[in-house]
Structure 1
Amino acid sequence: MAYTRIHAVKATVQKALKYICNPEKTDGQILIDSFACGIETAHYDFMDALSKSSGVGNKLAFHLIQSFAPGEVDFDMAHQVGRELADKLLENKYSYVIATHIDKEHCHNHIIFCAVDNVEHKKYNDCKRTYRQIRNLSDELCREHGLSVIIPSGQKGKTHYEWQMAKAGTSWKAQMKSDMDNAIREAHSYEDFISRMQTKGYVVKGETFGDNALKYLSFSASGQTRFTRVSEKNFGVGYTKESIRERIEKRIRAQEKFPVKKKFPFPKRPDAKRTLIDTDQEKFQENGALKHWADIQNLKIAAASYAEGGSVEELKQKILERSAVAKEARSAIVDLEHEMKAKAEILKYAKQYMENRKYQRGYEKAKDQDAYFRSHETQIILFGGAENMLKRYGVKMASLDVEKMQVEYDAMTAQKAKLKKTYQTAEKEAMEADKQLKNIRQYLGIERDKKESTKQRKQQDVTL
């Protein structure tokens, strides 16, 4: 599994880059890579991009850390996953340096990327939404490489005893939290919340505010010998009496500002897109009327699946065809992304070369080259870095055409969007056909027989 966290670099970009590129931590700088910037000149590349954007603020770069569980990955695999994460997240727009540190028992990647992109010169939006994107992309890559994935909960951690009680359904703390949530959701004021908790059978202490009031609100359920403090330590963020009052008042203000409109029923889901009801469950076996209703629903679902999808053989063929289209589109997207990454880097260096060429020529013609260099150090270093990278890619300076390269890159972006739409459509159609096939097979007893034979085979294996 991989843990991720990100923070802004506000004043020490050069120091941060120096830290992550430490040879002692990166196997002699073998496990270091960069995109759209030189490893040695990344600070200058970042400053150049920042100078082209207005309203950057004090966030000059972002430092993303991706840590793996001890022993789960080797150095090369960790570095590869980190590079793929940076490429998917930053979409070939932002300059970045990635370094994999191996000085601790767990491998971890450091990715420092510029706060402004090289294409539209827009600032990276660091917020909860983009962090969820980082989390999801990291988990997706872990799955692709056969690594474990962290299952997010968003809840305050429990002790092992509390976890056991919650699992068994006997946790008084879990029940208290649920009752508080319901009371907060229904209460018209903080006082109404307290009243509702008392109605549920709780004894209340410390509910008042003021200098002489108790610091914590506490509840005691029936059968409890001690009071339980309502605090962030016990229940998580948002569970103090001040926070509860604020949550209720915020909800009331929102309801007054945006009154709840009359709800219209959602359109009924087409039968062909529904999943067959499993009537083997105990509740259906004990209730004849409920089973009769479920049998009728299953007949509707199976009939609709057959009418929309066709026979079993037709559905099998459709799944094969749409899966093949999705696989081909996905493969084309991956190949195109690799090509776009190289093209984006060349385009960035081509622009950088053209923008700073006049400073290099001025330096060559200057009478006092030392003085000229001191005045235009950043531009001359950027020119040299861009020239070296373009030569490495085999680009001839004499025939450099930035506008043509931009048109080609834009065409590749449009092609990627088209392929992505094809992939998503084919994947969706394949999944729908697969659901219809399972509905028909299960209704005809084919799927059930298959499950029974698998179950019997497993039992035989256990017996042997």
Structure 2
Amino acid sequence: MATTKLFAIKTTEAKALAYIANPEKTDDGRLIFTYGCSSDPAQASRDFSAVRAGGTGLNTVLSQHFIQSFKPGEITPERALEVGKELCEKFLKGEYQYFLAVHTDTDHTHLHVIFNNVSRANGRTFETNMNQGKVKKRAWKKLFDLSDEICKRHHLSVIDHPERTRGKSHWEWDMNRQGLSWKAKLKHTIDQVVKASEDFDDFLRKCAEYGVLVEYDPDHKIDLKFMLVEQKERNPRAKMTRAKTLGWYYETRQIKDRIAQYHGVMIYTPRTKVRVITKKPPNKFVQDAIDRGNMKLASIAKNVISEYGVEPEQIRPAAMSAYANSRSLLSELNSINTEIEDLKVKLKVLRKYRKLKVYGEELKTLSGSEAKKYRKDNSAELTEYGQIRTQVLELYPSGHIPTVENLEQKINALIQERSLKDQQFREADKRVRDLADAQRTIEEFLRQERNEQQQDRKRKKNGNLE
């Protein structure tokens, strides 16, 4: 599902251009396209500055930056570059210099565009030309609408009912729906660190290697916080995210257990069974509250045992195992999606190749004036055939070119496999959420029970002293 975000650059234009032009993210610069400026980021910033110097007025904004992200496995980097070009042509209309870069360093292909805030056509700022007036006319909304329009034309998924509000809320809403929010990216990265860590101390050290900032204070109630380095670079005022906010699986104890489970270490779980205790309360309100809590706990334990065959004291290790399984299934699902998308691109090329191949075959049978006349009468088709033949040879350098039918069969088989894998993932994900909810509720109940027992002991102690 394609999503977009638009924001202004006021002080770090050269750094921003250098970031989006990073060779490691753009396949050594192959996925970069520029308009009206150099493909070298430092020179591009100077090219932007030269146009701003001839502008009509002063402005604190140097350039504008927008990001267009796509659903994992839905688009190839080359196709994303074409989509980005089309969006820039329609949105900027040739009036603004821009630097376009497609990034392939994450699980979802996305593109960055930084364009000059001053128009080459009239020297006015982007805000003056395009970002004034009523909400429905603002440039950011126009960008979202154009992005949706172009993606639909390219058969890419878009948001059906976006909450069209300024900037971040629209972007975050979109990103959350497809698992591309900062929190989703942060959780995914933490998952990778957990897999690579020997123990919790090693986890804290390795977070930096994976681009995660971490704060750990075991003496504080809120003991663990995280943030992506990338998020901090883009927004210096961004705040750390509490582990609890990310979810039960990202709290300190659960991270320790997950690391241990990845290494096949036995996870200790208390042998004391969950007990449902009703004590004589001081008043009816407390009695009703305890009854409600006890019934809820009993119901949860009964449901977990009947649906998953897990005893209450084994919920924690079962939840850890279920989470690892769900992440593995998700990774397999993304790989299948990527393979399907790659084959669809090849299928489109082969269909076109088969359609135009007849022109090349016919030309081979001719010679002399007949061949010359045939070339003249079918020049467009022969030119297109030459281009598509080059593409086919790039895709299949060995010369073993599959038939269209074989490729279609392979795609259909992968789609069936994806459907089955998707069902398995949904079931695994439900198990993960159910077990986590059950364990969280049980832990909360036991915590309340311990507090009540401590209070009882204090009351008895005070009574004895009297």
Q: TM-score, with normalisation over the residues of structure 2?
A: 0.42
Q: TM-score, with normalisation over the residues of structure 1?
A: 0.43
